[in-house]
Amino acid sequence: EPEVTQTPSHQVTQMGQEVILRCVPISNHLYFYWYRQILGQKVEFLVSFYNNEISEKSEIFDDQFSVERPDGSNFTLKIRSTKLEDSAMYFCASRDRAAGELFFGEGSRLTVL
């Protein structure tokens, strides 16, 4: 069964460092998302991406964040200069239509020291 894959599963970084989280969505899906969950809090929307551009983003998704779909298969989330409060589990998700169910990856745990 097709699945969304994410790498790395866990990354530890120093505050101020750049981090890139990678995702391979399901191949025929058109809509791509990043969500995150800070420990003990709700899953939060970060950004949605369609037709090679950002379609929506939350207040969390400031200038330190960017997304890219560089080669038609990977979908990346970059954090330019990490802060302690960026420590969270980051989930990539995709779907084949705008209002269908989301298919999630297993997440990338980011720890910022």
Partner 1 sequence: ILNVEQSPQSLHVQEGDSTNFTCSFPSSNFYALHWYRWETAKSPEALFVMTLNGDEKKKGRISATLNTKEGYSYLYIKGSQPEDSATYLCAFSPSGSARQLTFGSGTQLTVLP
Site residues for partner 1 per CB under 8 A: 3-4, 31, 33, 35, 41-45, 48, 50, 55-56, 58, 91, 98-107
Query: For residues 34 and 82, which CB has a smaller minimum distance to partner 1 in the complex?
Result: 34
Q: Are 105 and 92 in contact (CB under 8 A)?
A: yes
Q: How far is the CB of 31 from partner 1 (least distance, A)?
A: 7
Helix (H) or strand (E) holding 64: none
| Minimum CB–partner distance for residue 47 and partner 1 (Å) | 9
What is the nearest approach in angstroms of partner 1 to the Cβ of residue 50? 7
The rounded distance, in Å, linking the Cα atoms of 100 and 96 is 7
28 vs 42 by CB, closer to partner 1: 42
What is the spatial order of strands in the sheet that 5-7 belongs to? 5-7, 19-24, 75-79, 65-68
Nearer to partner 1 among residue 78 and residue 109 (C-beta): 109
SS3 label, residue 40: coil
